[in-house]
Structure 1
Amino acid sequence: MNQEITSSQSSSPTTQPPTDKVTIILFSGDLDKALAAFVIANGALAMDMQVTMFFAFWGLNVLRKPESGSVSKDLLAKMFGWMMPRGATKMRLSKMNFAGLGTAMMKHVMKKKNVHSLPQMVETARENGARLVACTMSMEVMGLKQSELLDGVELGGVATFLNEATQSKSTLFI
């Protein structure tokens, strides 16, 4: 029976075999989770795999520029902007944060052990061809504009994510 299922799936014209591709959706805005996502992404890139990273909701904070510039927003969008960390350097740990002390300790230990910082990991991924896609629905809900994101970030919706995920050998939700 398993052979029948396998053969019928492989003959389907809409089913494509996975390629050497990894798709990661980063939903979390926590430093440790973003670090994990970029360690995996950079590892996959080092193995000559294609990498697409899709950023939704709090994960969008990784892609925010450190400075805001002048962007016209309504009150709720401004409030979201004030409450969310502005970029990879401002993110905090999900556990043991202790009013920022845990985050500072983690960054100190990473530097001491010659582990790249999150901004360095983001830049490495970009330089090595990772595709960074910001979720347009999440941006709309959270009041973010494309001009507030790092240059070169693509915009896409759930269909963009699903298209990449269905063609990938590995899909991760972080």
Structure 2
Amino acid sequence: MEKTKKTIIVFSGDLDKAMAAFVIANGAAAMGDEVTMFFTFWGLNILRRPEKVKAKKGFLQAMFGAMMPRGAGRLGLSKMNFGGMGAKMMKIVMRQKNVAGLEELMATAREQGIKMIACTMSMDVMGITREELVDGLEYAGVATYLAEADESNVNLFI
């Protein structure tokens, strides 16, 4: 059987949408598919290190960095977030139901060899540096995503 490819653009930085992207990516990889996830704009927040990282930035880029969540553990829900309480309640229910959290889904994605690409243009616009992002990523622009998508039988935008 020929190996198929899946590509996912991760545009959203919402916890529930990030979880959906990683559940789909991990499911496809478990089925033997090659998976590429392309993180752009708000989706880059998923990949940010939780600790503050010193980086030389302009004023506006520094402001963006201060206003955005640092890492998967600090994301809010797209609906019913209630100042962060919705995400906390969701995590409690997920633990009670033995559902993997986002950090665990990300670790599984790395173990399965899912390619994660950070969009360099979005990084520049939002003032996010490579030092601020987790290890194990690739860095590229839209042309790289489009080349991957051209070879894919499924393309998702989340």
> 1:112 is matched with which residue: 85, 96, 103?
96
Match of residue 173 from structure 1: 157
Match of residue 53 from structure 1: 37
- Does residue 16 of structure 2 align to residue 27 of structure 1? no
CA radius of gyration, larger in = 1
SS at match of 2:57: coil
- Does residue 56 of structure 2 align to residue 67 of structure 1? no
Q: Deviation of residue 126 (structure 1)?
A: 0.8
CA distance in 2, matches of 1:127, 1:47: 14
Q: Please list every run of 5 or more consecutive structure 2 residues that lacks an aligned counterpart in the other structure.
A: none
Q: Deviation of residue 19 (structure 1)?
A: 5.4
- Does residue 134 of structure 2 align to residue 143 of structure 1? no
CA distance in 1, matches of 2:43, 2:96: 26
Match of residue 5 from structure 1: none
Match of residue 81 from structure 1: 65
Identity of aligned residues (%): 61
- Does residue 112 of structure 2 align to residue 128 of structure 1? yes
- Normalised by the size of structure 1, how large is the TM-score? 0.88
Displaced runs of 4+ in structure 1, greater than 6 A?
none
Q: Deviation of residue 69 (structure 1)?
A: 2.1
Amino acid at match of 1:152: G
Match of residue 22 from structure 2: 38
**RMSD across aligned positions (CA):** 1.1
Aligned residues: 157
Amino acid at match of 1:72: K
Q: Please list every run of 5 or more consecutive structure 1 residues that lacks an aligned counterpart in the other structure.
A: 1-17
